[in-house]
Amino acid sequence: MITANEITAPGTPRPSPRAWIRVAVAMFAVGWGANQFSPMLIVYRHELNLSAAAVAGLFAIYATTLIPGLLIGGPASDRLGRRPVVVPFVVLSPVATLLLVLGPHNLVVIAAGRALAGLCSGVVFGSATAWVQELSHPGDRPGAGAHRAALALSAGFGLGPVTAAMLAQWVADPLRVPYLPHLAIGAVAAAAVLRVPDTTTSRRLREARRWPPAAVRTRRFWLAVAPAAPLVFGSVSVAIVVLPEDVTSARSLSASFAGLMTALAFSAGLGVQPLAKRLGASNGLVAGLCSAAVGTGIGIAAAHGENRVLAGVAAVFLGLAYGMCLVCGLQQAGLDRAGQFADAAERGAVVACYYALAYLGFAVPYLAAGLGALAGKAGALAIMSASATLLALWTAGVTSGDG
């Protein structure tokens, strides 16, 4: 396993034991920029009189560049090095936000900003997660790197939309001011990550690797990891997109309520991550799936009675599902047939593949809308709760020998 002690060029100073913090700050900033847009969809719909299809399109544009960014960025960082791949896109992240500030009424400019944000997120998330894992000290507890990366991302994912929602609700210019904090945070993160040494070796850069990476070609990955991966962001999507719409009317849905639901979900997701690390990858993954089943189950009652309090309770359980599935899924994703961590020469590609599957969960609001047309709001949530329960049983069965 390649660690922080193996630096590309001879004579390059070794990173300090805390160098991973700078990369984590960059992940936090890019995560903030990625998710700050979620509550703003409500604002755009009201301020620009957009149709539901236009709003859905703005949401989807992000994913169209994020998935390619993941699948290109992760392997590229394995070949070229973490630093030359990650740093430029950390710098571009606030540029994407600047486009949203400069063209608040221009759908083309907004779409371009979201497309650039998706590309930055895709490239940075997989590559920087691998970088944090490699910068983490070899003497740290197993899974520490995955936990640190998940914590940084979750903090950005949570604080970005909450801050944007509060500003959009109360400031005089709701289409510009909510984005200003990210401009400052993004600039600080770009300056911080510039000083972090790379963790790749010249040997690794010469190695030719098959695609997909070895860890992704295992039965473990496709039986134990891939089925649960979409529940990472699928769970949180139910909390921050589906439930706010299910328990409110179009007129009463506000950025502040969406922000509250986001705060509840991501706070729970952040808080549970140390517990997830102690539970272990297999047990934590099953516990996360059970939390998703409970959260959507409570959501049934919330949607049926349009009860905001129950919706908040459901958001907490769905946040627990997000936090446990993210940390434990990242740990499981990098294991080979023998239960050892994936070769460092493929770590970026493995993490990128995992995130690509996890981001499929953002299609859940569309799935919920389709199911809702057939079975009603509560019926759609009942189907999702039953699916999460079955998935928990499946995962428990296929990981039962992992200990």
Q: How many helices (H) and strands (E) does the chain have?
A: 16, 0
Q: What is the pLDDT of residue 394?
A: 92
Is residue 260 within 8 A of residue 304, CB to CB? The reply is: no
Q: What is the pLDDT of residue 7?
A: 40
* DSSP per-residue letters across 70-96: HHHHHHHHHHH-HHHHHHHHHHHHHHH
Q: What is the pLDDT of residue 79?
A: 84
Q: How many CB atoms lie within 10 A of CB 46?
A: 16
Model confidence, pTM: 0.80
Q: Measure the CA–CA gap between 35 and 30, rounded to whole angstroms.
A: 9
Q: How many CB atoms lie within 10 A of CB 250?
A: 10
Assign 393 to helix, strand or coil.
helix
Most confident of 43-52, 127-136, 179-188, 220-229: 179-188
Please write the tens of the pLDDT for every residue from 306-316.
899 999 999 99
Is the confidence at residue 1, as pLDDT, over 60?
Answer: no
| pLDDT classification of 342: cutoffs 50, 70, 90 | low
pLDDT, mean of residues 341-346:
64
> Which residue's entry shows tokens 């599935």?
325
Q: What is the pLDDT of residue 122?
A: 92
Please write the tens of the pLDDT for every residue from 48-81.
887 766 777 787 788 889 989 988 888 888 888 8
Hey, where are the domains in the chain?
15-205, 214-403
Q: Measure the CA–CA gap between 399 and 131, rounded to whole angstroms.
A: 27
214-403 has CATH 3.30.70.560 classification: no
> Which residue's entry shows tokens 């400019």?
109
Q: Measure the CA–CA gap between 299 and 377, rounded to whole angstroms.
A: 9
Do 15-205 and 214-403 come out as alike in CATH topology?
Answer: yes
Nearest of 319, 317, 327, 314 to residue 284 by alpha carbon: 327
CATH architecture label of 15-205: Up-down Bundle (1.20)
